[in-house]
Amino acid sequence: MIIQFKKAVNNQILEELKTKFAQIPKQVLVIDNHMAVIDLDHFDFSDQESSAIDEVITKTPTYVLGSRLFHPEDTIIKLPHSEIGGNTFTMMAGPCSVESEEHIKRMAMVAREGGATLLRGGAFKPRTTPYSFQGLGEEGLRFMREAADELGMDVITEIMDETHVPMAAKYTDVIQIGARNMQNFSLLKAVGKTQIPVALKRGLAGTIDDLLNAAEYIASGGNHNIMLIERGIRTFDNKYTRNTFDLAAVPVLQKLTHYPIIVDPSHAVGAWDLVAPMAYAGTASGASGMIVEIHDDPAHAFSDGAQSLKPDTYLTMTKHVFALKQLMDSWED
């Protein structure tokens, strides 16, 4: 259950209750005036305790820390050059893979020109086959860091393994956990022990609750800097799109959790000419930002060329995305 105390709660009551729950024994989590007691649906409060309580929520989701019931305010993630969450709209762009020092620098300039404050790019690639390009590894991270620093951008990049965490800490502002690793629990626990912001992608067959419970693995380790990415899910129909973009997940997630929700139209559709319309739809869904793949020579991209926007298309798309966001902000309610 989640206990919402009155704003001016007496600390002594809070501490005494914590001790009582610990004796049952039950695990207790506290944020401000909210106390969550794991696996407890009922408790006989004394009159004095009851008078300190505003509300008791008995149907508590398993993802307590991520739940809006426990933490009503939006989480805002602050990076050196970006703010992510709430009513902000953050653009993240770059190639699928870091291909070379020169290429990532060129793509960073395009990304920045389109209003991106984060540079994306993979140095460790979770490819469907082991024979496809696997990424440049640490060298790729270094290239990305340099490209971003030259332009005053932040870096978001994927790691696939818990052993990559110390290396990522040296180079990236946001650790991306890919769709295929959404339930890699040792990786989730490892990033949960850091304070590095984490962008967790929804798994190919992950339900909304699966995603929130995966995020809880990160939060329960002490890292609350989490954003969630809707990147399309597998459904029965992948004839024309790589995945099915579940845009309803955006407002649903925003209702359930305080974490920023980001959309990824590139992986959702898998075809460059479908990216812009879905980017507009993603913006209209109310997401706090977008991550998109770009490439100046998609036919020769090391990965995901088919869904990568050429610079011109990207620049037009982001112009419209920001205009749409501005229009939405002007709506009275």
> Residue numbers of the site for ligand PEP (CB under 6 A)?
96, 122, 126, 178-180, 201, 231, 267
What phi, psi does 44 have (nearest 5°)?
-85, 100
User: How many CB atoms lie under 10 A from the CB of residue 218?
Assistant: 27
Residue 94 beta carbon to Mn ion: minimum distance, rounded to whole angstroms: 10
Binding test (CB under 5 A) with Mn ion, winner from 199, 223, 304, 325: 304
105 binding partner (options Mn ion, ligand PEP, none; Cβ < 5 to 8 Å by kind): none
270 binding partner (options Mn ion, ligand PEP, none; Cβ < 5 to 8 Å by kind): none
Stretch that binds Mn ion, among 131-139, 181-189, 221-229, 304-312 (CB under 5 A): 304-312
Residue 190 beta carbon to Mn ion: minimum distance, rounded to whole angstroms: 22
Residue 304 beta carbon to ligand PEP: minimum distance, rounded to whole angstroms: 6
**Binding of Mn ion by 268 (CB under 5 A):** no
126 binding partner (options Mn ion, ligand PEP, none; Cβ < 5 to 8 Å by kind): ligand PEP
Residue 179 beta carbon to ligand PEP: minimum distance, rounded to whole angstroms: 4
Residue 217 beta carbon to ligand PEP: minimum distance, rounded to whole angstroms: 17
Contact 94, 108 (CB under 8 A): yes
Q: Is the peptide bond before 265 cis (omega within 30 degrees of 0)?
A: no
178 binding partner (options ligand PEP, Mn ion, none; Cβ < 5 to 8 Å by kind): ligand PEP
Amino acid in position 17: L
**Residue showing the smallest CB distance to Mn ion in the complex:** 96
Integer Cα distance of 178 and 171 in angstroms = 18
Contact 294, 311 (CB under 8 A): yes
Contacts 24+ apart (CB under 8 A), 50-56: 52/5, 52/6, 52/9, 52/10, 52/13, 52/14, 53/3, 53/4, 53/5, 53/6, 54/4, 54/5, 54/6, 55/3, 55/4, 56/1, 56/2, 56/3, 56/4
| Residues of the shown chain interacting with Mn ion in the complex, contacts defined by CB under 5 A | 96, 304
